[in-house]
Amino acid sequence: MNRMTRAREQELEPRPAVPPETRWPMAAAVIASAALTLFLPDYLRLGPRWALPLAEGLLLVALVSGDPVRISRRSSALRCVSIALVVLLVCSATWSTIRLIDDLIHGGAETNSATALLYAGSSVWISTVLAFSLLYFELDSGGPAARAHHMPAAPALAFPQQLSPGLAAPNWRPRYVDYLYLGYTNSTALSPTDVMPLAPWAKCVMTLQSIVSLMILGLVVARAVNVFA
């Protein structure tokens, strides 16, 4: 019955305005983030080693089952699962950042090894880039499924292709790689580069990511240099 109902809903769903985005880039980012969590030191993880990867894996399986291959189905249930997954990733990355900073400030035993410190710091930093890129991906313009059907006149994040339509193909849509690049540049430049935040939530999230990245890079590099010296 559920399969018949889902098939009926898909028949009634209007066809997307552009080819929907494939699921695998977003799924690969979630898997990579879960893998990084598995190999983090115990003091940097939120909960037992298996808990977060298991929760993230279950949520990802639910998403893939409900809307496989391409992200085109607009569903309140799938939207809630997507947001729950992204919130879990962001909370995990933020917790790891807080624990790492606390350890650096109070001089934990792990911070006396430059190799261990750089490994932990880079893992946490990459986790924050992936988590925030997925957050932008999910919240901008109603999410990937909504973007495939219709782009709002005033998006939350303005990409160069939207500010200068002549640079892009007709009906251009941002894909996950665009949000991944946004997350990376915001974590390295600590400010907007080519993507401008327009909505208040986008400005707040980009500010938070810049602060988190600045604390990780500044404290980890400073401590590592001190250990090497």
State which residues form the domain around 149. Answer: 20-228
Question: In this predicted structure, what is the pLDDT of residue 145?
Answer: 86
On whether residue 9 sits in a domain, the answer given is no
Question: In this predicted structure, what is the pLDDT of residue 11?
Answer: 46
**Residue 96: how many other CB atoms lie within 10 Å:** 26
Q: How far apart are CA 132 and CA 94, in angstroms?
A: 10
On whether residue 191 sits in a domain, the answer given is yes
**Residue 118: how many other CB atoms lie within 10 Å:** 16
Beta partners for residue 62, in sequence order: none
On whether residue 146 sits in a domain, the answer given is yes
On whether residue 25 sits in a domain, the answer given is yes
Alpha-helical regions (H) of the chain? 2-12, 24-39, 51-66, 76-106, 114-139, 144-149, 160-163, 176-189, 200-228
The answer for residues whose C-beta is within 8 angstroms of residue 8's C-beta and 6 or more apart is none
Q: How far apart are CA 156 and CA 25, in angstroms?
A: 21
Question: In this predicted structure, what is the pLDDT of residue 19?
Answer: 78
On whether residue 5 sits in a domain, the answer given is no
Number of domains in the chain: 1
Beta partners for residue 71, in sequence order: 21
On whether residue 93 sits in a domain, the answer given is yes
Question: In this predicted structure, what is the pLDDT of residue 224?
Answer: 65
On whether residue 122 sits in a domain, the answer given is yes
Q: How far is CA 103 from CA 10, 40, 160, 178, 216, in A?
A: 50, 14, 40, 33, 12
Question: In this predicted structure, what is the pLDDT of residue 86?
Answer: 93
Task: Write the single-letter amino acid at 2.
Answer: N
What's this model's pTM, rounded to 2 decimal places? 0.86
Beta partners for residue 158, in sequence order: 196
On whether residue 4 sits in a domain, the answer given is no
DSSP codes of every residue in 139-195 = HGGG-HHHHHH---SS-SEE-HHHHSGGGS-TT----HHHHHHHHHHHHHHSS-SS-
Mean pLDDT by 10 residues, the chain (229 residues): 50 64 91 88 80 90 86 85 93 89 73 74 90 94 85 84 78 90 91 89 93 84 63
Question: In this predicted structure, what is the pLDDT of residue 82?
Answer: 92
